[in-house]
Amino acid sequence: IYRHTEGFTNKELKDLHSLFSEAKCDDADELPPHLINEVLQGFYGPQASAIAKQVAEEVSGKFADQDDRQTCVLGMKLPETLIWARRLREAEIQVWREKFMRYDKDGSNSMDLAELQPLMAELGYTVTSQTIKEAMQEAEDEYSGKKEGHLDFDEFVNIVYTFRSRDGFSKAEVSELKETFGHFNRRGSQEVEAHSLCALLRYMGHVAFVDEVQQLMSLAKIDPNGAVDFRHFLWFMRCHREEELRKARHVFQKYEEKTPPGMQVLSLPAGLPGLGY
User: What are the pLDDT digits (tens) for 13-26?
Assistant: 999 999 999 888 77
What is the residue range of 148's domain? 104-166
Give helix then strand counts, H and E, for the chain. 13, 4
- 145 and 192 housed in the same domain: no
Residue 145: the pLDDT is 52
Rama region for 243: left / alpha / beta (φ>0; ψ in -120 to 50; rest): alpha
Same domain flag for 133 and 212: no
Split into its structural domains, the chain has a count of 3
Dihedral sign (CA 187, 191, 194, 198): positive
- Residue 40's nearest CA partner among 64, 67, 12, 75 is 12
182 and 161, same domain (yes or no)? no
Same domain flag for 31 and 89: yes
- Answer for the pair 55, 36: CB distance below 8 angstroms, yes or no: yes
Is residue 178 domain-shared with residue 257, that is, in the same domain? yes
Residue 188's pLDDT is 65
Q: Which long-range contacts (CB under 8 A, 24 or more apart) does 131-134 make?
A: 131/168, 131/169, 131/170, 134/170, 134/171
Percent pLDDT > 90 in the chain is 27
Is residue 178 domain-shared with residue 258, that is, in the same domain? yes
Whether residue 216 lies inside any domain: the answer is: yes
The residues near 34 (Cβ < 8 Å, ≥ 6 apart) are: 56, 60
Phi then psi for residue 193, to 5 deg, are: -70, 135
* Structural domain includes residue 161: yes
Last residue of a domain, one of 136, 151, 166: 166
CB 173 within 8 A of CB 154: no
Q: For 216-235, write each residue's pLDDT tens digit.
A: 998 888 888 888 989 889 99
My answer on whether 212 and 261 are in the same domain is yes
Residue 3 falls inside a structural domain: no
Answer yes or no: are the C-beta atoms of 91 and 68 closer than 8 Å.
Answer: no
30-34, 91-95, 114-118, 256-260: least confident range: 256-260
pTM assigned to the model: 0.76
SS3 269: helix
174 pLDDT more than 90: yes
Would you say residue 67 has pLDDT above 60? no
Asked if pLDDT for residue 251 goes beyond 70, the answer is yes
Residues 176 and 261 in one domain: yes
Cα-based angle 165, 171, 172 (whole degrees, multiple of 5): 145
- 160 and 210 housed in the same domain: no
**Same-domain check for residues 19 and 78:** yes
Which among 114, 143, 166 is the end of a domain?
166
DSSP-derived 3-state class of residue 151 = strand
Gap between the Cα atoms of 183 and 267, Å rounded:
37
Q: Is residue 26 part of a domain?
A: yes
**Is 5 domain-assigned?**
no
Evaluate whether 135 touches 115 at the Cβ level (below 8 Å): no
The answer to whether the CB of 19 falls within 8 A of the CB of 42 is yes
Average pLDDT of the chain is: 84
Burial 72-81 (b: 16+ CB within 10 A, else e): eeebbebeeb
CATH of the domain at 152: 1.10.238.10
- Pick from 146, 166, 186: which residue ends a domain? 166
Instruction: With a cut of 50, say whether residue 72 has pLDDT above it.
Output: no
